[in-house]
Amino acid sequence: MLRLIAIVLMLFVFAIPLGLPALLVCWLLGFVSRDVQAKASLAYLRLIMAAAIFLAGVKIRAVGTENIPEKGPCLFVCNHRSYFDIFIQYQYVRRICGTVAKVEWKKIPLLRTWMKFIRCVFLDRKSLRSGVAVTKQMEDDLRAGYAFSIYPEGTRGHLNGLQPFREGSFKSAYATGVPIIPITYLHTDDVYENHRPWVRATDVTVVFGKPIPTVGLDRAAQKALSAEIREQMAKTYAEYV
């Protein structure tokens, strides 16, 4: 219970007394450069995420960090078990990297602005138009040299292994020919989701797979690669669980 209270108080302080001035500064930086704005915003958000990880008592075992590209466009493909997944990712992926988030997050004041600053996009799963717009934005950002992360399961899963991947999850990577880097999370749901509303100290593992090229694939090869990536991540999960 004390961990939960500490995290809530920390989030309040970083969101309001400290967050409002920081948000204003980052908004003004947008008139200088969107990249400068994104880097400053990400630095502030990474600080919050690191504080939440510390207060939750999370100890991270990171495997394959040498596979994280320091520059150049790429698509990080992640399984999804917890809210803490993204907190952990940004401790290691320290570059501008947008994330595809469900449209419900867009309804939260302040948070949605921070997310926009770091180039996140909001997907309404019930809207075909939203899916097309999100895919186009991702392709534009990837072609401009940025990174993106997606959760192809579409929702958080708490059973052992991975859920089915949504069809079309890798479309932006295939359209732009950028490499795919699989990220596999283990035990992150033991921090909060498996016993909500309480937060418990937990040892978690995150595995960064080797970059997978996507250039020059026809439709059949793309479909086969999507299945292979899921199978590879499932094997990684089984290996470290």
d(CA 81, CA 123): 19
CATH number of 59-240: 3.40.1130.10
- Give yes or no for a contact between 82 and 1, defined as CB atoms under 8 angstroms apart: no
Per-residue pLDDT tens digits for 10-60:
999 999 999 999 999 999 999 999 999 999 999 999 999 999 999 999 999
d(CA 241, CA 231): 15
Per-residue pLDDT tens digits for 57-113:
999 999 999 999 999 999 999 999 999 999 999 999 999 999 999 999 999 999 999
Query: How much of the chain exceeds pLDDT 70, in percent?
Result: 100
- Model confidence at 152, in pLDDT bands (50, 70, 90)? very high
Asked if residue 159 has pLDDT above 80, the reply is: no
- Model confidence at 196, in pLDDT bands (50, 70, 90)? confident
Across the beta sheet with 180-186, the strand order is: 59-63, 203-208, 180-186, 74-78, 147-150, 97-102, 121-123
- Give yes or no for a contact between 168 and 28, defined as CB atoms under 8 angstroms apart: no
pLDDT at position 51: 97
pLDDT at position 168: 83
Taking CA atoms, 71 is separated from 94, 145, 146, 173, 178, in Å, by: 10, 8, 8, 16, 12
Query: How much of the chain exceeds pLDDT 90, in percent?
Result: 88
Dihedral angle of Cα 144, 147, 152, 154, to the nearest 10 degrees = -90
Asked if residue 167 has pLDDT above 90, the reply is: no
- Rounded to two decimals, the pTM is 0.94
Domain limits, the chain: 59-240
Asked if residue 219 has pLDDT above 80, the reply is: yes
pLDDT at position 31: 97
pLDDT at position 161: 82
Report which DSSP code applies to 193: G
pLDDT at position 115: 97
Centroid of chain to Cα 47: 16
pLDDT at position 125: 83
